[in-house]
Structure 1
Amino acid sequence: MPLRNAKTPEKRAQLIEVFLGAGTWTYDLITRELTWSDGLYRLVGLDPKAVAASFDLYESLVHPDDRLAHEEIVELAHANQLSSRRFRVIRPDGHLIWLESRFDRQYDRSGRLAILHGVVQDVTNDHKAQIAHNRAAAANASLRKLVGGEFWRADSQGKLLDYTNWMRFTGQTAEQLRDYDRLAAVHPDDRQHFRTTWQGAIEGKYKLDLSVRVRRHDGVFQRFENTAVPLLDNDGEIVEWHGVSKLVEDIPAKPNLQNAVCEVHIRAARAMLGWTAQELAERSGISFSTIRRMEADAHSVKAENVERARETLENHGITFLSEPKDVVTVTFAAKR
């Protein structure tokens, strides 16, 4: 029955209650009289023609753990703390439902709180959804501890289904995330690798292993190791992907000083220590003739000999510092 055909306020109120799955109540704090609308009777599974609303009836329907005594209602109402309340009701047919009640206060002419007017709505589905969400969050927290990374889900084409963690890490907005193909938060040098690797896994329906740098909300790029497996339906088609991303610290590559250190560095380091070529040969275990050839042309001797000479010099206070464009600086700090 359309609302426009409800010609009286009472009929309109009844239709609204049906559409919203709601009901209303009024509680007189002075007389302790409780009245319910037809919608509220319908929610709790009672016939308004068979029973009259009362505080005792209310107590018999509310789950024992959620019941409030009359004195508690009065105290909370006066304390201005109970404007909204969620509680369980056990219907006569045995079904348990969750109701949420919101109310407003009415005062008499002397300013005394006299009547509470409330609206009640069935929130059972919302409550179940919240429980499922809490359980999923707890499961994800457990997974993070077990695997040391963030668990995530993506659709059959590799697009994230839950953006919360991604948005928190990258600082991207929901609008920016809609432009998925740009991969704006992925390092420019990794984007093509990202696309190619994902596409290969999707087409082959095999496990994904992907290392990629992602820009953090403060602009710093950090590397993630990503592993994902496809969830297939009975026809072997990909339904979605389940994956784990682990943050790894990029370790700067150690300078290849073996190739950068040359004859001039060996001579300079030996001079800083006040050693003769013979002393360097004796301390490093390299022949004197090899040291002489090394100091003339480091590339004319075996690389391992250059490395051994370098380590010997470093063990006695010399430091070889690699700078941009393979420039090596030699410094000395006396060993104590």
Structure 2
Amino acid sequence: MCLSVRRRPLTAALLASTTCLGLLTACGFSSETGTDTGSSGSKASAGGGSFPVALTNAWGRTEVKEKPVRVATVSDGDTAIALALGLVPVITPDVEDGDQVAEYKQRAIAKLGEKELKTYDDTDGTDYEAIAAEEPDVILGVNTWDMDTDYAKLSPIAPVVTFADKKQSDTLTWQERLKTAAKALGLTEKADAVIAANEKALKDAAAAHPEFQGKTYTYSVVHPEQITYMSYADQDPGVFEQLGLVKHPRSKDYSANKNGVSLENLDELESDVLLMTYPFGDEGLLSASDLETNKLFRSLDVVKNKHFAVVPSENTLASAIAYPDALSAPWVVENLTPILAKAVAGK
């Protein structure tokens, strides 16, 4: 499942991945979004431009009577959707706790002719008054865990586009969320183009690096309480596998509920390629230097032969891998493939 959530600090987001299946998921598109595609005989979803459009959601039914111009968002993922569809949100949550705006989002903002977005402080949750003040035509909320609280207060402001079932706050792929939003915005064809562009970026990168094909990999995250074996067998295929790598056979011994690797069993990380990330810094179970000077860790063939690499978290790459969105794939490929290429080559 693809975990696309309201923007949280990277460390909190990756902490959640110890029990959720979001970390490696590049999220393939599923055909079931649970949305109603039209109202009063309208064929809005088919061509992506006819209105009114009606969408069933977990709290009722949203009707968008005319093509929206002013769009507000209630999560970072919703902001990515708006930007991917060529829309600058009139207001969006700010970036929390000193996290930087991801480079790929900043590129999209600049491409649309803006330097930065107008934001509200969401430290205490969604700022309904700030959203209302911007008089949006529609509010995107397909990437949030807070809609159960927010819907009643947002719906009087403007039509709220969100998921059809509360469980879908966790389970919808980014493609499904994008398509749901696009229906309400009259931009279905644009959404299809966005999905195709993301898929092409991954396919082109895989074709450019045939040396990745069939190499086994282990991806592990150093959390505060454990070293987490994230590439377990039941984990959905993610960006690593879309680029040609395959899970190590040992991955069958791990699952979402059994994913800790003790310091005494670091040899469990052995693979053709070992990828680690340290999103918690000094708050992790151990630092990068502590692990990489560990005698057992240094004895691993994958480490001795230099097929080991670190996926950086400070530039939001680890977060973008964990929580793919409608904008991220080309940037992830741009930043991840050089790391993988060096690791595969043993450089």
TM class by shorter chain equals: under 0.3
Q: Which structure dedicates a bigger proportion of its chain to strand?
A: 1
In the superposition, the TM-score normalised over structure 2's length comes to 0.20
- Based on CA coordinates, which of the two structures has the bigger radius of gyration? 1
**Which protein has greater RCO, CA pairs closer than 8 Å, 6+ apart?**
2
